[in-house]
Amino acid sequence: MAEKNSFLVFSGTNSKYLAEKICASLGVKLGEMQTTRFSDGEFAVSYEESIRGRDVFLVQSTFPNSDNLMELLLMIDAAKRASARQVVAVIPYFGWARQDRKDRPRVSIGAKLVANLLEAAGIDRLMTMDLHADQIQGFFDVPVDHLYASGVILPYLQSLKLKDMVIASPDVGGSKRANAYAKYFGCPLVLCNKTRARANVVETMQIIGDVKDKNVIVVDDIVDTAGTIAKAADVMKQAGAKSVRACASHCVMSGPASERVQDSAIEEIVFTDSIPYSNRCAKVKQISVADMFAETIRRVLDNESISSQYLL
């Protein structure tokens, strides 16, 4: 591995819990950085140690609210101005990724805008996980290391040793991801066809496939308000499913999500810790991706391939 003093890892305010785990896995100390907040809502960042000529890894997921993204941009700018050799943004959860195209007239493409902001701030590389759409990698003109949560979720699902298992996608858009899981386990794939009344509100849902007497695992990348995944679980249970579990990469879980999951037919829902989750729900389990990101950092520093980490 590269010399420990050749690189430094820093964290934004709300991703410190994950950055500390990554540093523990790497066997290094989390870099010292200070964020000063002002009464009008502005804030400033400063590095409390020299980073001149170092490879700097900045850990910060850009989950709500927007302060997390702004803090990351300031961290990048400060690192460039402090003569860091290379600035790598480690963004386990890349916010605005659902705005990856113009799906109707006169709308913004938020994912491209955020990519532009990160590059303008000065990143030399991006390290992220389970982008909502793979093509977002093409929004960047710097190298992108795109990791997959399946690396930690699949081993957990295998440990359950479920019989008569079926993998399900909560919507047609997630069929590619769910199909990869189904192929890995060698089990059938079920799709849910949904119609929305408006954003975050599911109107109707139909199941395409057989779930009767099956142990169903619903696979998704993001659970926001949990309306889709809770509805899917309830519909599958009504269709005769023996049990319904769910797994997703990013635990956004906003608004009434925790209550919806608790009141639904879902037995357990598994997330990574790319986003902190404070609203306790007995059905939610989080698995850490710290070791996976730490290993990727090590391989990037040593100019090694990262593809062997992919299980799918």
State the pLDDT at residue 203: 65
State the pLDDT at residue 159: 97
The DSSP bridge pattern shows strands 215-223 and 243-251 to be parallel
- Contact status, residue 259 vs residue 232, Cβ threshold 8 Å: no
- Output 19-24 pairs: Cβ under 8 A, ≥24 positions apart: 19/59, 21/273, 21/288, 21/290, 21/291, 22/59, 22/90, 22/290, 22/293, 22/294, 22/297, 23/294, 24/290
- Contact status, residue 284 vs residue 273, Cβ threshold 8 Å: no
State the pLDDT at residue 193: 82
State the pLDDT at residue 78: 98
State the pLDDT at residue 279: 76
State the pLDDT at residue 311: 80
Q: Tokens representing 198?
A: 């408006």
Backbone torsions φ then ψ of 81, nearest 5 degrees: -70, -20
Q: How far apart are CA 84 and CA 7, in angstroms?
A: 10
Residue 215 CA: distances (Å) to CA of 1, 104, 238, 291: 43, 38, 13, 29
The DSSP bridge pattern shows strands 43-47 and 33-37 to be antiparallel
- Contact status, residue 101 vs residue 145, Cβ threshold 8 Å: no
Q: Which of 21, 163, 194, 237 is catalytic?
A: 194
State the pLDDT at residue 194: 73
State the pLDDT at residue 44: 96
State the pLDDT at residue 42: 95
Question: Residues in the chain with pLDDT < 70?
Answer: 1-5, 196-203
Specify whether 102 is catalytic: no
Residue 82 CA: distances (Å) to CA of 75, 216, 258, 281: 10, 51, 42, 43
Instruction: Map tokens 């060698």 to a residue.
Output: 186
- Contact status, residue 214 vs residue 245, Cβ threshold 8 Å: no
